[in-house]
Amino acid sequence: MLSVEVSSVVMPEKSSGGEKALVWFWLSLLVVILDQVTKVWVSANLALYQSIVVLPFFNLTLLHNEGAAWSILATAGGWQRWFLSGLAILISGVIVIWLSRLKRQQRWLACALALILGGALGNVIDRLMYGYVVDFIDVYYQQWHWPAFNIADSAISVGAVMLLIDALRRPAD
């Protein structure tokens, strides 16, 4: 009886919350890989500002964004590279901790966080390596163009919407 009590105290359960939720890192890694591969391909095949029409509402257009979303802070003088990189790294750390504390049944939330983490890391790689983020997805209607974006931005956006849905569907405590 004593040995059973000691072993249950000394040995943690194999299925701790962090161990369960951290399996979602594969999704973050997939986002980073897809993001970086597509950016390398576009950069190798298009000149800066060159567009290739793919569909009547979608072009591949190579752009370099030195700022944040919608080129906010793009002309800030260079400090934004380090500020935005540091912010993304800080947020990524918070997300890793958050993921490590989730339970297995919190799949939706874990997926949302993993997408955001992968997107943040994909863009921070660009900022640290080049000083800008490579954008290339150009969606438009007639003359109106949505600001260009990339796979990492898409993952962040989908993850953020999933976070909102998760918050709205949770019962109030």
Give the mean pLDDT per block of 10 residues along the chain (173 residues).
Answer: 40 46 86 98 97 96 82 64 86 94 90 97 95 95 93 97 93 64
Does any domain span residue 143?
no
Task: State the pTM of this model.
Answer: 0.82
Q: How many domains does the chain divide into?
A: 1
- Residue range(s) defining the domain that contains residue 153: 14-43+67-130+149-169
Residue 13 CB: number of other CB atoms within 10 A?
8
Task: Out of 35, 126, 138, 153, pick the active-site residue.
Answer: 153
Task: Out of 35, 126, 135, 138, pick the active-site residue.
Answer: 135
Does any domain span residue 79?
yes
Known catalytic residue: 166?
no
Does any domain span residue 165?
yes
Does any domain span residue 142?
no
Does any domain span residue 55?
no
Does any domain span residue 126?
yes
pLDDT in the model for residue 33: 98
Does any domain span residue 73?
yes
pLDDT in the model for residue 71: 64
Known catalytic residue: 135?
yes
Does any domain span residue 37?
yes
